[in-house]
Amino acid sequence: MITEDIREPQMGLTFEKVWAMFQETDRKMRETDRILQETIAQMRETDRIVRETDRQMQETDRQIKEMTKETDRQMRETDRQIKEMTKETDRQMRETDRKIGKLGDRLGDLVEHIIAPNLLEKFNKLGFSFGKIGSNVCYKRPNGEFIAEVDILLENGDTVLAVEVKSKLSVSDVREHTERMKKLRAYADEHGDARCFIGAAAGAIIPEGVKPFAYKSGFYVIEQSGDTIKIEAPQGFVPRKW
């Protein structure tokens, strides 16, 4: 038996097939070109954004530098103003202290003028026999070295009474007078003065608590009473002797 080889006839490339292939290729190339153009556009936009971001960062950096420079200038100016204000405040405080000091001196002088005229008589009634009184007595060594100044000084041949006068007597004033009495004793010893030194503290105003401290320190207390003065001491009080 003879078998016949039967095959379908092969179709060759036709114009239509080739044309279709060209059209597909062209379509793909146009699509590729479109994608490429979009990619280029995106890259350009990205580049623009990067450049704009860089510009903005540079501008921000410039603004920060300007702000820092201005802040630094303002801080220097503020520091200068604070220094000027501090200097002016210090000057005003010194001026105020000076005025207060002068006022205190005037009040102290006024108190001394009230106290001094009656002081000799008042103490002599307590049994003393003072015959000499002086005010603002300054003790100095021959070389000019300052030792102490006494507001009011009562003297006789045996005793010297040093009175510290304040417009408003304080505990610190009493302490300072105690140190002053020690200096007077040392000065007297240097000059062969064997007299006994005692003290008193006087004030137009004497706050509560100051008077007992003055008594405890061994001082008479002299207080203004109207147009005159009164000398006070507790029962059995014995003045401290230097």
* Domains by residue range for the chain, with CATH: 107-232 (3.40.1350.10)
Sheet strands side by side (includes 146-155)? 132-140, 146-155, 159-168, 196-205, 220-225, 228-232
Mean local confidence (pLDDT), 83-103: 68
Q: Band of the pLDDT at 204, cuts 50, 70, 90? A: confident
74, two tokens: 């303002």
Q: Over 90: is that where the pLDDT of 173 sits?
A: yes
Contact 112, 152 (CB under 8 A): yes
Pick the range with the lowest mean pLDDT from 89-93, 145-149, 179-183, 197-201.
89-93
Residues whose CB falls within 8 Å of the CB of residue 118, separated by 6 or more in sequence, listed in order? 228, 229
SS3 labels along 18-64: HHHHHHHHHHHHHHHHHHHHHHHHHHHHHHHHHHHHHHHHHHHHHHH
Q: Over 80: is that where the pLDDT of 220 sits?
A: yes
Separation CA 153–CA 132 (nearest Å): 8
Q: Band of the pLDDT at 242, cuts 50, 70, 90? A: very high
**DSSP state at residue 236:** T
Per-residue pLDDT, 22 = 79
Q: Over 50: is that where the pLDDT of 93 sits?
A: yes
What residue type is 45 in one-letter code?
E
Q: Band of the pLDDT at 87, cuts 50, 70, 90? A: confident
Mean local confidence (pLDDT), 232-236: 88
Per-residue pLDDT, 97 = 55
Residues of the chain with pLDDT > 90: what percent? 37
Q: Which of 192, 158, 199 is nearest to 178 (CA)?
A: 199
Pick the range with the lowest mean pLDDT from 28-32, 155-159, 168-172, 190-194.
28-32
Mean local confidence (pLDDT), 206-231: 89
The pTM assigned to this predicted structure is 0.56
Per-residue pLDDT, 12 = 67
Q: Band of the pLDDT at 95, cuts 50, 70, 90? A: low
Q: Band of the pLDDT at 98, cuts 50, 70, 90? A: low
Mean local confidence (pLDDT), 94-115: 55
Q: Over 90: is that where the pLDDT of 228 sits?
A: no
Q: Band of the pLDDT at 123, cuts 50, 70, 90? A: very high
